[in-house]
């Protein structure tokens, strides 16, 4: 039913801003959930999901289509609550209202506490109900208005609300107080509303339903006076039709629009999402010019205003310390600056080398084949180079230890360098001299490595078949045939030289065992 209120408004294209509010005495615990469901259906209709909106609200797709079209044309809808002092409401009615999260709360009074002639004191009198209209003669017009204004102002000052509803409700049966007192009541109510930031409602229901024709003009004059006072006090004006049926919503709005024009008022308020949004009725030339003349808010002392802080009477800002220039990151070495020969090959080479060794920074670390070939050449050259240049003892040991670690990891190589030329000719003498001169070979290794690397030639040496077969049998883990390259000779020779802690007879025993197997 709540969704259909918006459907009828969209079908008539009026009113464009509509808030449907129910009386608090009709609210139940199921209403907050129903209100949230209708809001979700309105969002779906605004997004164009007709089937989703129809299924959510429990209406036909045709109804959802009309609401969707109205929302896309600019119509806006809200859901509120009219909270009064109805004794038939639940004791925790305010909790239900809070759970609904209404867009706006209309604060009104429909009951007065009087002394009933038959039922005694504290009788809750519905003064605007025709069934109890006979009590006006018992209470009196002046007393009724006095009780009404006292209760209304007390609720406005103490209870939550956004709009003061139908202030002239006691005049429903044509009962008006003295003009001086009435204007005093108006000022008292407007002062309380202005203090709470609330608006006042101009209710149009008496103009099309309840007020007799002879009192119609009086009601219009009283509302005009209330509008002018509200404008002077800065109190917003809301228009309500008081419709109890969709056919009456927006009733007599033409009359109230004329009243607003007579009072030179071109703006009303509309509750949405718990606040009072301002709505311009007509985009007149004066309104547009006022909008253009209104300067945009500018921060004091900014470059947009053109005035400094001194001109605006503001204290000067403290001087900030000069910002330090950001430190540039250290330039990383690229492949252009450092060639492949200068890159670190293993963690074992991170230690600092002595000056004699740093002249050639790790040239032999490009591949494991060069390391094995150079170690073989150094062992062969050790026989003739007894009196080579001897660097300090401790740094040489470090350099040899650094070179020993990667040589043991990869003893074999697929390619040989020219340094292996001397290995076949002097292999016997090198093996004999190895136990006696291994210390001299270790010391002479860096110098021999440097000398042999400079004399290297690009030619390769083809090995003899007999030597190839013999060298392949010297490797303990080899299971291949005699088609292996000469690199295995250099690898076995390097292994015998480097592993000085193990006896040299280990290789011969393995040769015998493999020979027997073959």
Verify that 260 and 375 share a domain, yes or no: no
- 308 assigned to some structural domain: no
What does the pLDDT look like over 433-485, one tens digit per residue?
Answer: 444 444 444 554 444 444 444 444 444 444 444 444 444 444 444 444 444 44
The verdict on 252 and 103 lying in the same domain is: yes
pLDDT greater than 80 at residue 94: yes
pLDDT tens track for 364-414? 344 444 555 555 555 544 444 444 444 444 444 444 444 444 444 444 444
Give start and end residues of each alpha helix (H) in 348-390.
368-381
- Residue 312 falls within a domain, yes or no? no
Q: Examine the fold and report which residue of 240, 260, 293 is the final residue of a domain before the chain moves on.
A: 293
User: How many CB atoms within 10 Å of residue 391?
Assistant: 16
Judge if 276 and 194 occupy the same domain: yes
Q: Give the dihedral of Cα atoms 27, 29, 34, 35; nearest 10 deg.
A: 60
Band (178; pLDDT cuts 50, 70, 90) = very high
Residues 368 and 282 in one domain: no
For residues 310 and 239, give the distance between their C-alpha atoms in angstroms, rounded to a whole number.
48
Whether residue 256 sits in one domain with residue 139: yes
Q: Please give the average per-residue pLDDT across 120-149, as a whole number.
A: 95
| Structural domain span for residue 175 | 2-293
Judge whether residue 30 has pLDDT over 50.
Answer: yes
The mean pLDDT of the chain is 72
pLDDT at residue 323, as a whole number: 52
* 255 vs 452, more confident: 255
The token pair that represents 261 in the structure block: 């024009």
Average pLDDT over residues 245-260: 91
When pLDDT is cut at 50, 70 and 90, the band that residue 286 belongs to is confident
Whether 238 and 375 map to the same domain: the answer is: no
For residues 399 and 362, what is the distance between their CA atoms, to the nearest angstrom? Answer: 10
User: Given the structure tokens 């020979």, which residue do they identify?
Assistant: 515
> Above 70 in pLDDT, residue 422?
no
Lookup: tokens for 419: 């340094």
**pLDDT class of 287 with cuts at 50, 70, 90:** low
Average pLDDT over residues 261-286: 90
For residue 359, being part of any structural domain is answered with no
User: What value does the mean pLDDT take over residues 111-136?
Assistant: 94
| Residues 152-172: b if buried by 16+ CB within 10 A, e if exposed | bbebbeeeebbbbbbbbbbbb
State mean pLDDT over 38-66: 96
Residue 363 has pLDDT above 50, yes or no: no
Q: How far apart are CA 514 and CA 508, in angstroms?
A: 10
Picking from 237, 235, 291, 225, the residue whose alpha carbon sits closest to that of residue 268 is 237
Output the pLDDT for position 350: 42
CB contact set of 161 (below 8 Å; sequence gap of 6+) = 83, 105, 106, 107, 155, 196, 198
What CATH number did the domain enclosing 178 receive? Answer: 3.20.20.140
Higher pLDDT, 374 or 254: 254
Task: Write down the pLDDT at residue 241.
Answer: 92
Residue 320 within a domain? no
| pLDDT, tens only, 194-251 | 999 999 999 999 999 877 777 889 999 999 999 999 999 999 999 999 998 888 988 8
The pLDDT assigned to 191 comes to 97
The answer to whether the Cα torsion of 166, 169, 175, 180 is positive or negative is negative
74/182 same-domain check:
yes
For residues 492 and 514, give the distance between their C-alpha atoms in angstroms, rounded to a whole number. Answer: 15
- Phi, then psi, of 455 in degrees rounded to 5: -90, 5
Give the pLDDT score at 317.
53
Q: Supply the pLDDT for residue 211.
A: 76
Q: Is residue 306 one of the residues assigned to a domain? A: no
Report how far residue 496's alpha carbon sits from residue 451's, in angstroms, rounded to the nearest whole number: 22
Give the predicted TM-score (pTM) of the model: 0.57
Instruction: Specify the pLDDT at position 91.
Output: 87
Classify residue 471: in a domain, yes or no. Answer: yes
> Is the domain of 32 the same as that of 167?
yes
Mean pLDDT across 110-136: 94
Q: Are residues 268 and 411 in the same domain?
A: no
> Is 356 within the bounds of a domain?
no
pLDDT for position 366: 44
How confident is the model over 340-346, as a mean pLDDT?
44
Based on the fold, state whether residues 242 and 108 are members of the same structural domain. yes
- Provide the percentage of residues in the chain whose pLDDT is more than 70: 56
User: What is the predicted pLDDT for the residue at 46?
Assistant: 96
Q: Are residues 283 and 411 in the same domain?
A: no
Task: Among 269, 293, 317, identify where a domain stops.
Answer: 293
Q: How many domains, the chain?
A: 2
What average pLDDT score do residues 120-146 get? 94
pLDDT at 81 over 80: yes
What value does the mean pLDDT take over residues 258-286? 90
Residue 133 lies in a domain: yes
pLDDT at position 209, please? Answer: 84
Instruction: Give the pLDDT band of residue 122 (cuts 50, 70, 90).
Output: very high
122 lies in the same domain as 259:
yes
In the listed set 293, 321, 354, which residue is the last one of a domain according to the structure? 293
Q: How many Cα atoms within 13 Å fall on the side-chain side of residue 1?
A: 6
What's the rounded mean pLDDT across residues 81-96? 92
Q: What is the pLDDT of residues 293-324, one digit of tens each?
A: 765 544 343 333 334 445 445 555 555 555 55
At 375 the pLDDT is: 53
């Amino acid at each position: 039913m709540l969704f259909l209120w918006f459907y009828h408004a969209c079908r008539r294209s009026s009113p464009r801003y509509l808030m449907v509010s129910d009386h608090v005495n009709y609210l139940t615990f199921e209403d907050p959930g129903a209100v949230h469901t209708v809001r979700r259906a309105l969002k779906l209709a605004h997004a164009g999901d007709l089937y989703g909106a129809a299924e959510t609200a429990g209406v036909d797709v045709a109804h959802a289509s009309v609401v969707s079209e109205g929302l896309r044309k600019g119509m806006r809808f809200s859901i509120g609550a009219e909270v009064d002092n109805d004794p038939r409401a639940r004791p925790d009615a305010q909790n239900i209202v809070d759970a609904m999260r209404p867009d706006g709360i209309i604060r009104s009074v429909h009951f007065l506490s009087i002394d009933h002639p038959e039922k005694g004191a504290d009788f809750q009198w519905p003064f605007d109900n025709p069934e109890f209209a006979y009590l006006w003669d018992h209470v009196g017009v002046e007393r009724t208005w006095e009780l009404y204004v006292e209760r209304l102002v007390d609720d406005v000052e103490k209870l939550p609300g956004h709009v003061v509803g139908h202030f002239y409700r006691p005049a429903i049966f044509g009962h008006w107080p003295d003009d001086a007192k009435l204007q005093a009541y108006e000022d008292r109510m407007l002062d309380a509303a202005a203090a709470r930031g609330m608006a006042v409602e101009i209710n149009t229901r008496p103009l099309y339903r309840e007020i007799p024709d002879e009192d119609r003009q009086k009601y219009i004059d009283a509302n005009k006076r209330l509008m002018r006072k509200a404008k002077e006090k800065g109190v917003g004006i809301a228009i309500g039709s008081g419709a109890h049926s969709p056919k009456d919503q927006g009733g007599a709005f033409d009359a109230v629009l004329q009243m607003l024009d007579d009072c030179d008022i071109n703006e009303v308020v509309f509750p949405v999402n718990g606040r009072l949004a301002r709505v311009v009725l007509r985009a007149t030339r004066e309104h547009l010019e006022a909008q253009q003349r209104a300067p945009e808010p500018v921060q004091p002392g900014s470059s947009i205003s053109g005035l400094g802080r001194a001109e605006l009477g503001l204290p000067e800002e403290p001087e900030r310390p000069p910002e330090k220039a950001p430190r540039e990151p250290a330039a990383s070495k690229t492949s252009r600056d450092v060639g492949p020969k200068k890159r670190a090959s293993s963690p074992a080479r991170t230690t600092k080398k002595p000056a004699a060794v740093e002249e050639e920074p790790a040239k032999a670390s490009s591949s494991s084949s060069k390391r094995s070939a150079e170690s073989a050449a150094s062992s062969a050259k050790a026989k003739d180079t007894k009196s080579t240049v001897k660097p300090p003892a401790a740094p040489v040991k470090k350099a040899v230890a650094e070179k020993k670690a990667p040589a043991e990891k990869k003893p074999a190589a697929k390619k040989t360098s020219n340094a292996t030329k001397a290995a076949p000719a002097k292999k016997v003498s090198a093996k004999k001299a190895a136990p006696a001169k291994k210390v001299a070979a270790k010391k002479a290794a860096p110098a021999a490595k440097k000398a042999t690397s400079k004399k290297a030639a690009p030619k390769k040496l083809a090995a003899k078949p007999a030597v190839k077969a013999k060298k392949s049998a010297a490797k303990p883990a080899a299971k291949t045939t005699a088609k292996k390259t000469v690199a295995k000779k250099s690898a076995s020779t390097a292994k015998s030289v480097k592993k000085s802690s193990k006896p040299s007879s280990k290789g011969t025993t393995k040769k015998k065992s493999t020979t027997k197997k073959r």
